[in-house]
Amino acid sequence: MNWKHTWILVGLAAALFAFIFLYERRLDPTGAVPPPKPLFANFKPTRATVVQIRRGTQFALTVEHTNDAWHFTKPFTYPAANFAVQSFLETLERAIPVTHISSR
């Protein structure tokens, strides 16, 4: 058996341990990346009165908030599900940008 290679590996392990123990423990833990801000930081769902969903340059769907209820106004007039519209607006309020783009 060649003890020279063994002592070299033990020395490298000791040096790595010393580096971790003496240097990396003293790094500032607050250097972490802050969470991303929401896309629509100033958007408040309770103040929204009209939601328009467009397809290209044409209006595809319009929902208006009147008399404490949501109603479709374009392309037809019909009551809308209040919970669905409110949850959509709340989701927009909480939307954050994607910070990682996968290879897919």
DSSP string, 27-40: S-GGGSPPPPPPTT
* Structure confidence by residue, pLDDT tens digits, 56-93: 887 788 999 988 899 998 878 888 888 999 999 999 88
Q: What pLDDT score does 16 carry?
A: 92
Give percent above pLDDT 90 in the chain.
19
**Stronger pLDDT, 8 or 41, i.e. the higher one:** 8
Dihedral pair phi/psi, residue 21, rounded to 5°: -70, -40
How far apart are alpha carbons 83 and 62 in whole angstroms?
Answer: 16
Q: What pLDDT score does 57 carry?
A: 80
